[in-house]
Structure 1
Amino acid sequence: MNFYPFPLFLLLFMTFSGISQKTKSGPIIEDYGAVWEIDNPDFKTDTSQEFKVVFDVKDGPESDTEINRNLNTVARFLNMHAQNGIPLSQLKVALIVHGSAARNLLSDEAFQKRYEVDNPNRELVENLLNVGVEVIMCGQSSKTRGLPKEDLIPGVKIALSAMTANIQLQNQGYRPIKL
């Protein structure tokens, strides 16, 4: 029988170095947006400031049964900052959706009619809306892709365009993050 000490060493190293840590979701968006804990970062987070961000999401998953990882990034943003002492009241978040991601904002009923499955993103989008994320659909994508407002998850707003919404939010001090 051969003995290989390297894997044991690697396991011990991972355990004591923190590599084996697990990601954690919540406290703002439970079950989505899991993030890693960063112990003692060199670049400190200013927990007293307001974080105003607009996420621009144009790409959706190829599969009709897959959660859009870019939408999940919005939950990650909220959770990681809350886990590190920044209250929700200091997190001002907008999400602009266009392109192939636009279908991810459909209600289950509308998604079911088109793709014969429930929208895997509905619960995540509803959770984002419930904590105050402004979810905005590009009006041009809505028309181009045949996604009328009545087919969207309740609470989703339609703008003239993603470009227009981005400009307006940036003029209000929101910082863009393009996904």
Structure 2
Amino acid sequence: MNFHHFPLFLLIIVAFSGISQETKSGPIVENYGAVWEIDNPDFKTDKSQAFKVVFDVKDGPKSDTEINKNLNTVARFLNMHAQSGIPASQLKAALIVHGTAARNLLSDDAHKARYKVENPNRELVEKLLEAGVEIIMCGQSSKTRDLPKEDLIPGIKIALSAMTANIQLQNQGYRPINL
């Protein structure tokens, strides 16, 4: 064997041997939120507790054709815990959106009128709503960015502010994750 080609040979063997594991989405949010399975972690997950989390998302992608990776993180949270055996009834997620991410909550028609393309985040947002995620738009961002409720994906709630919604949810036992 020519040892100059050994790294390529090794790469081919690994690629076809099934050693590399793939990420998978679901079971809560299909086609989004793909995660890795972690075999036998040293820090064990307490599957008896409730996981209540509020995600604070202020940054959206620069392009109007990209999915907001921070919104996808909410799907990842739900899928990874469900894949590891935590019942959906123990997963409570809320999503507070403000800043440049606010436009990611527009309906397809409103998004197309403003940015000439349909909202690439619409399907993900709808699947999060279907999964029971409470999605809250900052009222201050709604006004500042001229994003009225009638232009949003149905099911989005508007709060006085992102700060107000964060405080209220944290007072209800939700743990904050800022993205």
Alignment of 1:1-150 (within 5 A): 3-12=4-13, 18=19, 20-150=20-150
The whole-number CA distance in structure 1 between the counterparts of 2:36 and 2:16 is 15
- Secondary structure of the residue that 2:94 maps to in structure 1? strand
Match of 1:170 in 2: 170
The whole-number CA distance in structure 1 between the counterparts of 2:58 and 2:45 is 29
The whole-number CA distance in structure 1 between the counterparts of 2:98 and 2:166 is 12
- Secondary structure of the residue that 2:72 maps to in structure 1? helix
- Secondary structure of the residue that 1:64 maps to in structure 2? coil
The whole-number CA distance in structure 2 between the counterparts of 1:23 and 1:111 is 30
Cα displacement (A) at 1:8: 2.4
The whole-number CA distance in structure 2 between the counterparts of 1:14 and 1:131 is 35
- Call closer, same or farther: CA 1:40–1:14 in 2, change over 3 Å: farther
The whole-number CA distance in structure 1 between the counterparts of 2:116 and 2:124 is 19
- Secondary structure of the residue that 2:8 maps to in structure 1? helix
The whole-number CA distance in structure 1 between the counterparts of 2:18 and 2:121 is 35
The whole-number CA distance in structure 2 between the counterparts of 1:162 and 1:86 is 29
- Call closer, same or farther: CA 1:173–1:15 in 2, change over 3 Å: farther
The whole-number CA distance in structure 2 between the counterparts of 1:17 and 1:53 is 35
Cα displacement (A) at 1:11: 4.5
Cα displacement (A) at 1:40: 0.8
The whole-number CA distance in structure 2 between the counterparts of 1:54 and 1:15 is 40
Percent identity of equivalent pairs:
78
Amino acid at match of 2:57: V
The whole-number CA distance in structure 2 between the counterparts of 1:17 and 1:177 is 34
The whole-number CA distance in structure 2 between the counterparts of 1:121 and 1:10 is 36
The whole-number CA distance in structure 2 between the counterparts of 1:21 and 1:74 is 22
Aligned length: 178
TM-score normalized with structure 2 length:
0.94
- Secondary structure of the residue that 1:104 maps to in structure 2? helix
The whole-number CA distance in structure 2 between the counterparts of 1:95 and 1:15 is 40
- Unpaired runs of at least 5, structure 1: none
Cα displacement (A) at 1:87: 1.1
Match of 1:151 in 2: 151
